Structure 1
Amino acid sequence: AKKQQKKKEAMIAALKKGDKVVTSGGIYGTVAAVEDQTLLLKIAENTKIRIAKSAIGGPVGADDGSS
């Protein structure tokens, strides 16, 4: 469990503007800005939400089936 936690923390720390991610709640978006404890996530044209970094489920890869 600690290994997974460290891996997730490293993934979150490596996030940068333009990265595509999915939240733990299932919302897909693109990182618009990285702040201390939060991320600004672009989820649609002219629509951004601020979420806690801990709410990131993971990066969206090219092979996840979404388009």
Structure 2
Amino acid sequence: MMSEWVSVSYDMPQKDLNYGSLSVEVEVMLKNGIVTKAFYADNYARWFEAGSFRIIPEGQVVTWRSL
């Protein structure tokens, strides 16, 4: 069972202990309803799409949940 969606204004994913400033990979929902896998980089204060490392524009990620 997947976990509940968490608002990015409430909390952020836990850090990946193998990669200092990066979060663990999570599933995110964008403003337009698209769901994708992503991670958050504290050092850039940005979300990145998992796999492609494409920057997700600021403000587009609204919720996330653990994989």
Relative to the length of structure 2, the TM-score reads 0.48
Relative to the length of structure 1, the TM-score reads 0.48
Q: Which has the larger radius of gyration?
A: 1
Greater relative contact order (Cα < 8 A, sep 6+): 2
